[in-house]
């Protein structure tokens, strides 16, 4: 069961806005953990509407290629890229068309739970990286999202994500199997919303892809429950913050 991004594309940016403060947090992490400098060739795999591709190109000076399987999401990305600073490509993450050693860094955000074979995606990432190139994976591990707002008020979402979300341990295992070394993971907490109302409004737009996959009845019940909670505890920090995992690995050097 997969989210239909041909439909989600129309409201994706509104539903999943990323504050400038959070963009800065993640750009610093990307630059620091990758060790990449201006001009580095970066593949944003599963780029969506370019919410990381464009800042990486604009603020970090990376030579960015944004790749996604959804033509609708890419169309939205291209609309925002008036200066054509990113190379946008329609790609299947499990069978990339790029030659070996095309990139210094492969970055992906919330991608692996959408694909049929996460290991194949990671193996393809390893192939297109230069020796000693870096892979960066940003995601909500199952133990982080199981008790978050969306999965608490929309229990049907747990049933879906139990079959597709992955743990830190499994992500690291895939990297080892694909031949990466120097693997590490860290938990990052970000303030995604400024108010409880903002999170409620995001849920109403089905901001998390899994909310577009549950039944309309379950969605309506969850919204009512969340409305009641926000009405009682509008400033609860649980509504404002999210925890994510950032896993990093390095491709072996050519002489290793």
The DSSP result for the chain, as a single string, is: ----HHHHTTTHHHHT---HHHHHHHHHHHHHHH---TT-EEEEET-TTTTTHHHHHHHH--EEEEEES-HHHHHHHHHH-TT--SEEEE--TTS--SPTT-EEEEEEES-GGGSS-HHHHHHHHHHHEEEEEEEEEEE--HHHHTTSHHHHH-HHHHHHHTTT---HHHHHHHHHHTT-EEEEEEEEEEE--SSHHHHHHHHHTT-SGGGGTS-HHHHHHHHHHHHHHHHH-TT-HHHHEEEEEEEEEEPPPTT-
Average pLDDT over residues 179-199: 96
Structure tokens given for 6: 């041909």
- Exposed/middle/buried for 66, CB within 10 Å: 0-12, 13-18, 19+? buried
Q: What is the mean pLDDT of the chain?
A: 92
Q: Domain spans of the chain?
A: 5-140+166-192+244-250
Q: pLDDT band for position 153 (50/70/90)? A: very high
Q: pTM of the predicted model, to two decimals?
A: 0.91
* CATH fold of 5-140+166-192+244-250: Rossmann fold (3.40.50)
* Other CB atoms within 10 Å distance of the CB of residue 189: 11
Distance CA 69, CA 63 (A): 20
Residue located via tokens 């603020």: 59
pLDDT at res. 98: 98
* Cα–Cα nearest to 109, from 151, 153, 73: 73
Mapping DSSP onto H, E and C, the string for 12-76 reads HHHHCCCCHHHHHHHHHHHHHHHCCCCCCEEEEECCCCCCCHHHHHHHHCCEEEEEECCHHHHHH
Structure tokens given for 224: 């009512």
pLDDT tens, position by position, 194-210: 999 999 999 999 988 89
Structure tokens given for 189: 């907490």
Average pLDDT over residues 54-77: 96
More confident residue, 151 or 13: 151
Cβ atoms of 65 and 87 within 8 Å: the answer is yes
Residue 254, pLDDT > 90, answer no
pLDDT at res. 3: 46
């Amino acid at each position: 069961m997969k989210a239909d991004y041909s439909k989600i594309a129309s409201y994706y940016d509104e539903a999943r806005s990323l504050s400038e403060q959070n963009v800065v947090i993640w750009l610093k992490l990307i630059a620091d953990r990758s060790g990449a400098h201006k001009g580095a060739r970066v593949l944003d795999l599963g780029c969506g509407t370019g919410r990381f591709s464009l800042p990486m190109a604009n603020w970090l000076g990376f030579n960015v290629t944004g790749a996604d399987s959804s033509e609708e999401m890419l169309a939205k990305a291209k609309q925002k890229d008036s200066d054509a600073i990113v190379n946008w490509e329609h790609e299947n993450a499990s069978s990339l068309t790029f030659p070996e050693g095309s990139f210094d860094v492969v970055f992906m955000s919330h991608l692996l739970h959408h694909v049929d074979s996460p290991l194949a995606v990671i193996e393809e990432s390893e192939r297109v990286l230069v020796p000693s190139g870096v892979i960066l994976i940003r995601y909500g591990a199952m133990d982080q999202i199981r008790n978050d707002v969306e999965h608490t008020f929309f229990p049907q979402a747990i049933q879906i994500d139990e079959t597709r979300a992955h743990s830190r341990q499994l992500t690291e295992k895939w990297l080892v199997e694909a031949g990466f070394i120097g693997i590490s993971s860290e938990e990052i907490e970000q303030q995604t919303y400024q108010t409880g109302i903002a999170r409620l409004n995001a849920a109403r737009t089905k901001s998390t892809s899994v909310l577009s996959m549950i039944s309309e009845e379950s969605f309506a019940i969850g919204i009512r429950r969340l409305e009641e909670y926000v009405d009682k505890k509008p400033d609860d920090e649980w509504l404002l913050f999210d925890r994510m995992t950032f896993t990093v690995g390095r491709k072996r050097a050519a002489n290793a």
